[in-house]
Amino acid sequence: MDVLTEEQALALGMARAFAAERLKPVAATLDRDATWPKAQLAGLAELGFMGMTVPEADGGAGFDPLTYALVIEALATGCASTAVIVSVNNSLVCEPIAKFGTPEQKRAWLPPLVEGQRLGCFGLTEPSSGSDAAHMDTFAERDGRGWRVSGSKNWITNGPHADVMVLLAATQKELGAQGVSAFLVPLSAGGVSRDRHDEKLGIHAAHSCTVSFDEVLLGPEALLGAEGQGFKIAMATLDSGRIGIAAQAIGIAQAAFDAAFAYSHERQAFGSLIKDKQAIQFMFADMATELRAARLLVAQAAAAKARGGRFTREAAQAKLFASEMATRVTHRALQVFGGYGYSAEYPAERHYRDARITEIYEGTSEIMRLVIAGQVLKEAAATNAS
């Protein structure tokens, strides 16, 4: 971004330095061995990056939404896996606790989540419901003053290492979305089990797994927000999360661009460096333009969030464009490398694999189009009515 406040520039500078010194040098190894970036996460917690948007009064860094997006983008240029681990802890865990939690819930969970002593995950997706998120089988029934939870959540990013889950469960199944409630579930509770971590196309260091609940007993203090408000909490939480994923997609695409650009200054073909070939220059022109467009959409979504009120459309547009842009940019970047792009010797193939998930998690591109169309129709109806 062209004009940043001193605070924004400071946070971005720290994130860029961390990505260059602590993430980029190890990203290929973390990915190849599917190693959880434990030491890197500890370093990020020291910088305050595990609780960026949590208000300072609740122990967080109190960053505005643009600073948050800039930091996630910078981290993703170094390691896409680390960036999503951080994004989930921030947007999908700390943020709903800060926004919907009671003073006791905030006191209990936010300091350790922000300081990196605890890690969070978000449990919405189930084996038989991903996009159709309201139709979940996981059920929480009243048990005395508390709750008894049974069911299974899958593709849970951070799941193998998390201490707490923001869990969405049906409390009145017949009511659909209106019968869903949110809970804060300590994953040390009896009856919680986790499968081994998932094998995936990319983001190998960002472990995910299925987490199952077998008659897990929760006290009344586990309910996050009001009973029956869980679906709205999940959707509002995902609005924020989608800005983070859009930023992650931009970071991956920028890293792919940078690597291909550098390679084009070394590689000779037909008697000159490939950077001087118009075919390659046109690819860079398209990549640079799309990257800028995605950044502007993310900045606009962050500004809409900072103004208050709903920013559903802006977040969905940013995620849709940035994630599909990342797929196109990483595809072209790999093409610049030619055969070497297909080899694990260079980072192009990792960027290409890592970019793909950004079109799927926290809402697929198809769901983003549904959400945007819904908002466009609603705005048109409101304009016609006025």
Least distance CB 124 / ligand CAA (angstroms)? 5
Q: Residue 166 carries which DSSP code?
A: E
On the CB side of 115, how many CA atoms lie within 13 Å of its CA? 9
Phi, psi for residue 207 in degrees, rounded to 5: -65, 140
Identify whether 290 is a catalytic site residue: no
Told to check if 131 binds ligand CAA by CB under 6 A, we report yes
Which of these, 205, 200, 248, lies nearest to 353 by C-alpha position?
Answer: 200
Among residues 16, 161, 173, 232, the one that binds ligand CAA under rule CB under 6 A? 232
Q: Tokens for 118? A: 């605890």
Among residues 69, 238, 283, 320, the one that binds ligand CAA under rule CB under 6 A? 238
Exposed (0-12), middle (13-18) or buried (19+): which is 208, by Cβ within 10 Å? buried
- Separation CA 141–CA 169 (nearest Å): 9
Please give the residues from 28 up to 67 whose contact with ligand CAA meets the rule CB under 6 A.
none
203 or 255, CB closer to ligand CAA? 203
Q: How many CB atoms lie within 10 A of CB 14?
A: 16
- The catalytic position among 290, 324, 349, 362 is 362
Piece of the chain touching ligand CAA by CB under 6 A; list 16-24, 39-47, 71-79, 233-241? 233-241
Told to check if 105 binds ligand CAA by CB under 6 A, we report no
- Separation CA 381–CA 373 (nearest Å): 12
Do the Cβ atoms of 178 and 228 come closer than 8 Å?
yes
169 or 371, CB closer to ligand CAA? 371
Q: Tokens for 102? A: 């009671």
Among residues 30, 133, 249, 287, the one that binds ligand CAA under rule CB under 6 A? 133
Told to check if 80 binds ligand CAA by CB under 6 A, we report no
Among residues 138, 264, 312, 317, the one that binds ligand CAA under rule CB under 6 A? 312
| Angle value at C-alpha 309, between 308 and 311, nearest 5 degrees | 95
Please give the residues from 106 up to 125 whose contact with ligand CAA meets the rule CB under 6 A.
122, 124-125
Among residues 31, 126, 198, 362, the one that binds ligand CAA under rule CB under 6 A? 362
Give me the residues that bind ligand CAA (CB under 6 A), please: 88, 92, 122, 124-125, 131, 133-134, 155, 157, 177-178, 231-232, 235-236, 238-239, 312, 361-363, 367, 370-371
Q: Which residues are catalytic?
A: 362
